[in-house]
Chains A and B, each alone.
Chain A
């Protein structure tokens, strides 16, 4: 059982026999009155995200999850196939569980899949991923001291801002938590 303070992003809870993952969590401790947490809850079964506020006196049932490292293999329509790095078994994950992570997911990349027994619940991208830039303009703007940024499209289709000196076809490291450029590889 978890109390208000235990609620975090990525925690898996069970409400009324339905499993949800917490995708966003804001703890609020007003000077007057009791603390509460304003959260966004994602329902595992269909991927729907709901708003839920938990008060300090509520307890929430947590779900015991095992973390498994798996490699993303490929996508078949709205099913994604992963292979467990230890058991080598293949698991399918529905698009609804994975959609937020798709923009940084590359085939062959290893991610952490949280499972409740045999049922996958959520995936966690590694903190940084290396991706290739497939499209960006040369970004010549003359000499400036402060430098600027420009848009670049990554191999996954996602667009990020990168410094002007980063050219097309370079591999860069991106922080998956913020979605921002970190450095060139």
Chain B
């Protein structure tokens, strides 16, 4: 397959990096921001290659982290619930609320939301949407805090809006998480990064053999990846 040719903007961005080097987190953040020179506010993402095999249940990594400074984009929250809970959800700031009608809309292709929350009584029906939501990481899940009783709805919506991100292994053992926008200060991005890494490391599953984090890269949406020093990254913990 013919390798795609890259444009001038991209190639210049690549020129700023040393592909052999492993940058410490602060430099990596700075560099990544410099590569984020496209005509919109790019999202900065963290990508990790782990030593975990998602096929084994005891090696699955899945959890949440609430980024202190948010992700930089407004989060659209959808809540599956019925009765009284619908009012609670709307008052708490949910963008879309409903039960069967909402389910039908999603079956028809509606995907205009970033997070979905549900009450347990709805989950039987929401299960049908597994095929559509599951792959996109939009399926409500108790471990992430998106399946909650009625009284937990406001907290869950609030966390979602404030910057709760989910990290989970994809089928090749990689983790991809946004940590903010290119317009953020280095400090803000660093705070988010520290919180995220701390949570990921705490979520290390029992069955993982060898090194948990094998490689780490920071990248901007349109930019090249910036390799990071894994040891320095793993040292970032919340005090």
- Where the two chains meet, the residues of A that have a C-beta atom closer than 8 Å to any C-beta of B are 71-74, 76-79, 81, 83, 85, 87-96, 107-108, 118-120
Contacts and interface: CB of A to CB of B under 8 A. Distances in A.
Interface stretch (B43-51, B129-137, B177-185): B129-137
B135 A76 contact: yes
B134 A74 contact: yes
Given A88-B140, A88-B147, A107-B131, 20 more contacts: A71-B130, A73-B130, A73-B134, A73-B139, A74-B130, A74-B131, A77-B171, A81-B134, A83-B127, A87-B142, A88-B123, A88-B141, A88-B142, A89-B141, A89-B142, A90-B141, A92-B57, A96-B55, A108-B128, A119-B58
Contacts of A77: 171
Contacts, number: 63
29 contacts: A71-B127, A72-B130, A73-B127, A73-B139, A74-B130, A74-B131, A76-B170, A76-B171, A78-B55, A78-B171, A79-B171, A81-B130, A83-B127, A83-B130, A83-B139, A85-B127, A88-B120, A89-B143, A90-B134, A90-B139, A90-B141, A92-B54, A92-B55, A94-B55, A108-B127, A108-B128, A118-B58, A119-B57, A119-B58
Nearest to B55: A94
Interface in B113-130: 120, 123-124, 127-128, 130
Interface string B151-171: 000000000000000000011
B60 interface: yes
B110 interface: no
Interface of B: 54-58, 60, 120, 123-124, 127-128, 130-131, 134-135, 139-143, 147, 170-171
B44 to A, nearest CB: 26
Contacts of A120: 57
Nearest to A107: B131
